[in-house]
Chains A and B, each alone.
Chain A
């Protein structure tokens, strides 16, 4: 565009060049290969009903979402996004948890010292640890609220009965994940909270003592308990919960998407 005396403004030229460069990049073979047909990141994407379908259909997201969803389900007030947020918190917890694993050894000598060192010796260590802990509490809360939302909508009714059962298992696994993580800082709070919690398990009829012994790897909370709960927390329970989540999400799709409207 001309500015008064016929010369092109500098800003205008920069803008044009940038647009050209972006276009060339988006048209390059590499970018063409990264994004599948219909991606809004592709050169020449136009907003049309067909392309809107392709965005989902030609994308890994198609494993989670259908191309079209019921209109009432999109309203935030219907689900409050609680199930999605629970899943998202699980991802956040996985990321922050992997970060923490770099700086933590599950032994009685090092566990507590490592956690202390997080806030002094590690960049963002304190922030990431806080995110992991509060995120875990939030996830227990969102999973529980998600269950309540589903109950109030009657969304467990046929054909969704079994997905409700899977959901209850997921709640249990969430609680177990949170509880096993509780011991890992190896401070007084951790030790005694776990002592109280496992004492309750000792009241299981007939097998009470055996259950308690298996949980604690002994008769009281020791270094062996720490290692056991660490493995449960970072490997075993996440592995199980991912399987149940896969079934849960798959069943949501197969049982006809979101329930309702009321």
Chain B
């Protein structure tokens, strides 16, 4: 084993001591191999992920001294069965025992193949994760349901890091047809992590090939559309720029024509400044902070949807009016009578 500097060891011990609520000296002694390992939870068992109501009359696992001879023998056997190093297996068994609230011996016995799966015995209500811990919505395996994925975030005395590890159940759980993969959620959660942890299961598919295929087809379709358009429609190029010759009418690009249309109804201060910057920019940026309704269901957002639809319809109307129905002097005209006064469109449609 590599030598760990004293300062680092001390920091680590302090963190652990704080997390477990025990004196630093005890942790240090344990780290140096002078004391038995302190079970996380020794001081505040009630705060742990273990269910509040004990499912079994026996004392919950974590007392390693209880039957050390038994445990060691089982551990050796289980390690042989699983083909894993003893240390890893022990950690795994301890975590499982803690999560399920059963003695360590039972878990080890199961791992060694001497007992039926532990998870299957635990009564469901007692084994439910504490409130606040995300719960798998539709866990396919019985074991998965009874293993809380995440320790209770409120457990201030809990270990800094908890991992839920369990051996693969040898028999598929009831209700799952043979050959179907069942999933477990495995999460390593730091207490007071900076990221929000929401290990809620979602119905997900692999990005490759499912999403990539859709995207690739969309890209091809867009490229095809653009090339077709570009072959069929010539981009406009009028006479060279001449500042002394004002064309009649002078029109802005189509996406500003709605504004230009507004300019012919309202004062420029309103149509040229207030509408685009205040309503258009600031207003749109503020939408998420004004609309505090948390629901995304269309039936709950009738007002928001109505307002946006009015905006869409209004801007479309103004743009179409500006593009098609404004002729010489930006006066109203009918495209089918007076022709189109919009050069980008000249090649597209013809009413002649």
Chain A interface helix/strand/loop/mixed: helix
Given A131-B226, A134-B229, A164-B288: A74 touches B253 (CB 8 Å cut-off): no
How far apart sit A200 and B275, CA to CA, in the bound complex (Å)? 11
Contact indicator per residue, chain B 200-227, by CB within 8 Å of chain A (1) or not (0): 0011111111111011001100110011
Shortest beta-carbon distance, B283 to chain A, in Å? Answer: 9
Shortest beta-carbon distance, B196 to chain A, in Å? Answer: 8
In the bound complex, residues from chain A placing their C-beta under 8 Å from that of B301 are 154
Contact pick for B256, options A116, A153, A160, A197, CB 8 Å: A197
How far apart sit A52 and B293, CA to CA, in the bound complex (Å)? 38
How far apart sit A62 and B219, CA to CA, in the bound complex (Å)? 19
In the bound complex, residues from chain B placing their C-beta under 8 Å from that of A85 are 218-219, 222
Stretch of A10-18, A24-32, A171-179, A231-239 with 4 or more beta carbons under 8 angstroms from chain B:
A171-179
Q: Is B116 an interface residue (CB 8 A)?
A: no
In the bound complex, residues from chain B placing their C-beta under 8 Å from that of A129 are 235
Q: B246 and A192: CB pair below 8 A? A: yes
Shortest beta-carbon distance, B246 to chain A, in Å? Answer: 7
Shortest beta-carbon distance, B305 to chain A, in Å? Answer: 7
How far apart sit A37 and B343, CA to CA, in the bound complex (Å)? 53
Contact indicator per residue, chain B 219-248, by CB within 8 Å of chain A (1) or not (0): 100110011011101111111111101110
Contact pick for B252, options A137, A158, A165, A193, CB 8 Å: A193
Q: Is B260 an interface residue (CB 8 A)?
A: yes
Q: B250 and A196: CB pair below 8 A? A: yes
Q: A188 and B238: CB pair below 8 A? A: yes
Chain B interface helix/strand/loop/mixed: helix
Q: B344 and A188: CB pair below 8 A? A: no
Q: Is B295 an interface residue (CB 8 A)?
A: yes
Residues of chain B from 227 to 285 with CB closer than 8 A to chain A in the complex: 227, 229-231, 233-243, 245-247, 250-256, 259-260, 263, 268-269, 272-273, 276-277, 281, 284-285
Given A193-B251, A262-B297: A134 touches B237 (CB 8 Å cut-off): no
Q: B204 and A203: CB pair below 8 A? A: no
Q: Is B351 an interface residue (CB 8 A)?
A: no
Q: A205 and B273: CB pair below 8 A? A: yes
Contact pick for B255, options A65, A66, A160, A178, CB 8 Å: A178
Interface size class for chain A? 35 or more
Q: B296 and A260: CB pair below 8 A? A: yes
Q: How many residues of B contact A (CB 8 A)?
A: 72
In the bound complex, residues from chain A placing their C-beta under 8 Å from that of B250 are 192-193, 195-196
CB-based nearest A residue for B227: A131
CB-based nearest B residue for A166: B285
Q: Is A20 an interface residue (CB 8 A)?
A: no
Q: B296 and A67: CB pair below 8 A? A: no
Q: B281 and A160: CB pair below 8 A? A: no
Q: Is A151 an interface residue (CB 8 A)?
A: yes
Q: Is A152 an interface residue (CB 8 A)?
A: yes
Shortest beta-carbon distance, B224 to chain A, in Å? Answer: 12
Residues of chain A from 36 to 53 with CB closer than 8 A to chain B in the complex: 40, 49, 52-53
Q: A81 and B240: CB pair below 8 A? A: no
Closest 7 CB pairs of A and B: A154-B296, A130-B230, A161-B288, A203-B272, A191-B241, A55-B208, A68-B204
A-to-B contact residues, CB < 8 Å: 40, 49, 52-53, 55-56, 61, 65-74, 76, 81, 84-85, 88-89, 92, 108, 112, 115-116, 126-127, 129-131, 133-135, 137-138, 140, 148, 151-158, 160-162, 164-165, 168-169, 172, 175, 178-179, 182, 185-193, 195-197, 200-205, 220-222, 259-260, 262
Complex A-B: 27 CB contacts under 8 Å: A40-B208, A69-B207, A69-B210, A81-B214, A92-B226, A112-B241, A134-B226, A134-B229, A134-B230, A135-B226, A138-B222, A158-B288, A161-B288, A168-B285, A185-B237, A186-B241, A187-B240, A187-B241, A188-B242, A188-B245, A191-B242, A196-B250, A200-B260, A205-B269, A221-B241, A260-B296, A262-B298
| Given pairs A65-B207, A161-B289, A175-B255, 11 additional interface contacts (CB within 8 A) | A61-B212, A70-B204, A74-B210, A81-B218, A127-B231, A130-B235, A133-B235, A152-B305, A157-B291, A182-B253, A191-B241
